[in-house]
Structure 1
Amino acid sequence: MSAVNIMWFRRDLRLTDNAALYHALKAGLPVVPVFIFDRHILDKLEDKADRRVEFIHAALHDMQQQLQAMGSTLHVYYGFADAVWSQILNDYPVANVFTNHDYEPYALERDAAVQQMLAAKNIGFHTYKDQVIFEKGEVLKDDGKPYTVFTPYSKKWKAKLHDSFLKAYPTENYFAAFLQQEVKPIPSLASMGFQQVDKPFPARLLKAELIKKYKDQRDIPSIEGTSRLGVHLRFGTLSIRKLAAYAQPLSEGFLNELIWRDFYHMILWHFPQVGKGQAFKPQYDFIKWRNNEAEFKAWCEGNTGYPIVDAGMRELNETGFMHNRVRMIVASFLTKHLLIDWRWGEAYFAQKLLDFDLAANNGGWQWAASSGCDAAPYFRVFNPTLQTQKFDPDLKYVRKWVPEFESLTKYVPPIVNHEMARKRVLEVYKQALG
Structure 2
Amino acid sequence: MKKPVSIFWFRRDLRLDDNVGLYKALTNDHPVLPIFIFDSEILNKLPKTDARVTFIHDTLQHMRSHLQNEYNSSIGMYHGKPLDIYKQLITDYEIKAVYTNHDYEPYAIKRDTEISTFLSNHGITFNTFKDQVIFEKDEVVKKDGNPYVVYTPFMRTWKEKFKTYNLKILNSHSFLDQTVKDLKLPNLSLEDIGFERSQQSITGYTVTPSLIQNYETKRNYPALDATSKLGPHLRFGTVSVRKMIKKAIAEENEIFWQELIWREFFMQILWHYPHTKDKSFKSKYDRIEWRNNEDEFKHWCEGNTGYPLVDAGMRELNTTGFMHNRVRMLVGSFLCKHLLIDWRWGEAYFAEKLHDYEMASNVGNWQWIAGSGVDAAPYFRIFNPTSQIQKFDKDHEYIKKWVPEYQELTYPQPIVDHKMARERCLKTYKEAVS
User: Counterparts of 1:366 and 1:289 in 2: how far apart (Å)?
Assistant: 14
SS of 1:17's partner is coil
Which residue does 2:160 correspond to in 1? 159
- Give 1:211 deviation, angstroms: 1.1
Instruction: Confirm whether residue 6 of structure 1 aligns to residue 7 of structure 2.
Output: yes
Residues 6 and 97 in structure 1, CA contact (< 8 A), matched pair in contact too: yes
Which residue does 1:149 correspond to in 2? 150
- Give 1:289 deviation, angstroms: 0.2
User: Counterparts of 1:386 and 1:58 in 2: how far apart (Å)?
Assistant: 42
Which residue does 1:258 correspond to in 2? 260
What is the RMSD computed on CA atoms of the aligned residues? Answer: 1.0
**Given the two structures, how large is their TM-score scaled by the length of structure 1?**
0.98
- Give 1:164 deviation, angstroms: 4.2
User: Counterparts of 2:10 and 2:164 in 1: how far apart (Å)?
Assistant: 26
Instruction: Confirm whether residue 66 of structure 1 aligns to residue 66 of structure 2.
Output: yes
- Give 1:84 deviation, angstroms: 0.8
- Give 1:183 deviation, angstroms: 4.0
User: Counterparts of 1:205 and 1:72 in 2: how far apart (Å)?
Assistant: 31
Which residue does 2:400 correspond to in 1? 399
Instruction: Confirm whether residue 427 of structure 1 aligns to residue 427 of structure 2.
Output: yes
Q: Deviations over 1:230-257 (max 9, x none)?
A: 0100000010000111112321100010
User: Counterparts of 1:410 and 1:205 in 2: how far apart (Å)?
Assistant: 37
From 264, 269, 272, give the equivalent of 1:270: 272
Which residue does 1:366 correspond to in 2? 367
Q: Aligned partner of 1:300: which letter?
A: C
User: Counterparts of 2:3 and 2:51 in 1: how far apart (Å)?
Assistant: 39
User: Counterparts of 1:139 and 1:253 in 2: how far apart (Å)?
Assistant: 20
- Give 1:142 deviation, angstroms: 1.2
Residues 7 and 20 in structure 1, CA contact (< 8 A), matched pair in contact too: yes
Residues 78 and 186 in structure 2, CA contact (< 8 A), matched pair in contact too: no
Which residue does 2:104 correspond to in 1? 103
Give the 5 Å matches for 1:102-251: 102-162=103-163, 164-250=165-251, 251=253
- Give 1:205 deviation, angstroms: 3.7
Q: Deviations over 1:300-341 (max 9, x none)?
A: 000000000000000000000000000000000000000000
SS of 2:35's partner is strand
User: Counterparts of 2:322 and 2:34 in 1: how far apart (Å)?
Assistant: 31
User: Counterparts of 1:266 and 1:103 in 2: how far apart (Å)?
Assistant: 8
User: Counterparts of 1:392 and 1:43 in 2: how far apart (Å)?
Assistant: 39
Q: Deviations over 1:93-142 (max 9, x none)?
A: 00100000000111011101100110000100000011111100010111
- Give 1:175 deviation, angstroms: 1.4
User: Counterparts of 1:26 and 1:83 in 2: how far apart (Å)?
Assistant: 28
User: Counterparts of 1:96 and 1:20 in 2: how far apart (Å)?
Assistant: 12
Which residue does 1:56 correspond to in 2? 56
- Give 1:206 deviation, angstroms: 2.4
Residues 71 and 180 in structure 1, CA contact (< 8 A), matched pair in contact too: yes
User: Counterparts of 1:388 and 1:95 in 2: how far apart (Å)?
Assistant: 59
Q: Aligned partner of 2:192: which letter?
A: S
SS of 2:16's partner is coil
- Give 1:200 deviation, angstroms: 3.7
Q: Aligned partner of 2:140: which letter?
A: V
Q: Aligned partner of 1:414: which letter?
A: P
Aligned residues: 431
Q: Aligned partner of 2:128: which letter?
A: T
* Higher mean displacement: 174-183 or 262-271: 174-183
User: Counterparts of 1:223 and 1:65 in 2: how far apart (Å)?
Assistant: 36
Q: Aligned partner of 1:377: which letter?
A: P
Residues 7 and 24 in structure 1, CA contact (< 8 A), matched pair in contact too: yes
User: Counterparts of 1:270 and 1:220 in 2: how far apart (Å)?
Assistant: 34
User: Counterparts of 2:350 and 2:199 in 1: how far apart (Å)?
Assistant: 21
- Give 1:150 deviation, angstroms: 0.3
Q: Aligned partner of 2:124: which letter?
A: I
Which consecutive unaligned segments of at least 5 residues does structure 2 have?
A: none
User: Counterparts of 1:117 and 1:287 in 2: how far apart (Å)?
Assistant: 43
Residues 306 and 414 in structure 1, CA contact (< 8 A), matched pair in contact too: yes
Residues 74 and 183 in structure 1, CA contact (< 8 A), matched pair in contact too: no
Give the 5 Å matches for 1:266-305: 266-275=268-277, 277-305=278-306
- Give 1:174 deviation, angstroms: 1.4
User: Counterparts of 2:267 and 2:284 in 1: how far apart (Å)?
Assistant: 22
SS of 2:135's partner is coil
Instruction: Confirm whether residue 26 of structure 1 aligns to residue 27 of structure 2.
Output: yes
- Give 1:165 deviation, angstroms: 4.2
Q: Aligned partner of 1:70: which letter?
A: Y
SS of 2:304's partner is coil
User: Counterparts of 2:84 and 2:366 in 1: how far apart (Å)?
Assistant: 35
- Give 1:421 deviation, angstroms: 0.5
SS of 1:37's partner is strand
- Give 1:162 deviation, angstroms: 3.6
Runs of 4+ aligned structure 1 residues displaced above 6 Å come to: none
User: Counterparts of 2:164 and 2:171 in 1: how far apart (Å)?
Assistant: 15
Residues 200 and 321 in structure 2, CA contact (< 8 A), matched pair in contact too: no
Q: Aligned partner of 1:420: which letter?
A: M
User: Counterparts of 1:291 and 1:198 in 2: how far apart (Å)?
Assistant: 31
User: Counterparts of 1:426 and 1:14 in 2: how far apart (Å)?
Assistant: 48
User: Counterparts of 2:357 and 2:344 in 1: how far apart (Å)?
Assistant: 14
User: Counterparts of 1:83 and 1:297 in 2: how far apart (Å)?
Assistant: 39
Residues 222 and 392 in structure 2, CA contact (< 8 A), matched pair in contact too: yes
Residues 202 and 229 in structure 1, CA contact (< 8 A), matched pair in contact too: no
Residues 75 and 184 in structure 1, CA contact (< 8 A), matched pair in contact too: yes
Q: Aligned partner of 2:422: which letter?
A: R
Which residue does 1:314 correspond to in 2? 315
SS of 1:95's partner is strand
User: Counterparts of 1:315 and 1:186 in 2: how far apart (Å)?
Assistant: 34
SS of 2:96's partner is strand
- Give 1:199 deviation, angstroms: 3.8
- Give 1:197 deviation, angstroms: 2.2
